Structure 1
């Protein structure tokens, strides 16, 4: 079981990052709300991880706090919610916002997320309410010791921020037309924005 990674962030391809840990590159998928808070490429990062083993793949999901990982683990226990949908839910709202939505029976906020229809939202509210009673405040990941990154060559995407933002939304489950429209609106508002800024704005406009 891989529970935590500390290493050098060598690439960001939202919603996936790669971390170099002593020469081994780990690909980790993260909710956008967590990815926003990461350091820049080339810097040392620590992520709390959840390891999923399937017949056709071994996947790592990463979070900034133990509380965020705990919420992810509770989500994938819910009926009809797998890791991909859980990642989408936690990309569309922070862990705190999700807990507030469940606590206040805010189904309307949940159905705005791709893959979450009214029935799924209502079921999430019912199933998650009791599970979240003991959900605590986020616990920050332990700061990592400095690493020598002089020999590492961070890899940056050759594509444009707009393309990266569009790819991220599609990976999260948004329909192409919906993603195109949201990214176009985000670009119109800030033509010099980074891919992360465009994704954040696009998700807010959904």
Structure 2
């Protein structure tokens, strides 16, 4: 099994990158979030990988973090979720938001992912809820589960303004609600203030 690749980014296309490692080219499938974090062509690159082997196919899946790879492996352990579907899921939300949705049993949010129906969403929750550890994010777990709709709406608004998923998450993290209900407006104001500092 190939655990990681270190080399030079040769090319980047829809859903894949080509990485030159000492003259050998590896084509790696990645989520949109990881693709957005890739450097420019010709620059050094390091990606964690998962090797998927079938009867007639050997395919590499790449990740910019160990956490994303671990969640990918959790996802494909669920009945009915293959590697391609897992990438679609990881392209729809960042790792922390997806974990929170599963632990919080947010079926409506999970079914907003292309190709994920209610049955698969319920299966994801049933099989993974107890296996996932909640990330330490600015919104406490209790507050997030209560106000996740506001969080996701604010995140979507930031994406609509042209920020990447990673930038949106970083901007929203660190907000302490102090037990009060969080509004979308307050979250966006907090995020834009953080973004202005960077």
Query: What TM-score do you get using the length of structure 1 for normalisation?
Result: 0.64
Q: Secondary structure at the match of 1:132?
A: coil
Distance in structure 1 (CA, Å) of the matches to 2:39 and 2:121: 33
Q: 1:55-134 residue pairs with structure 2 within 5 A?
A: 55-133=55-133
Aligned pair count? 141
Aligned-partner Cα distance in 1 for 2:124–2:57 = 27
TM superposition shift of 1:43: 0.5
Residue 169 of structure 1 is matched in structure 2 by none
Change in 2 beyond 3 A, CA 1:94/1:9 = same
Structure 1 ranges of 4+ moved more than 2 A: none
Instruction: Provide TM-score, normalisation by structure 2.
Output: 0.67
Aligned match of 2:179: none
Task: Write the mapping of 1:160-175 to structure 2, written as runs, cut at 5 A.
Answer: none
Q: How much is the aligned-residue C-alpha RMSD, in angstroms? A: 2.1
Measured after TM superposition, the shift of residue 79 of structure 1 is 1.1
User: Structure 1 residue 56: deviation in Å?
Assistant: 2.0
Q: Pairwise mapping of residues 1-206 of structure 1 onto structure 2 (< 5 A)?
A: 1-133=1-133
Work out whether residues 67 and 136 of structure 1, in 8 Å CA contact, stay in contact via their aligned partners in 2.
no
Cα distance between partner residues in 2 of 1:64 and 1:7: 14
**d(CA) in 2 for partners of 1:136 and 1:53?**
30
Higher fraction of helix: 2
Does structure 2 conserve the Cα–Cα contact (< 8 Å) formed by 1:8 and 1:43?
A: yes
Q: Structure 2: any 5+ residue segments left out of the alignment?
A: 137-159, 165-198
Q: Which of structures 1 and 2 has the larger relative contact order (alpha carbons within 8 angstroms, sep 6+)?
A: 1
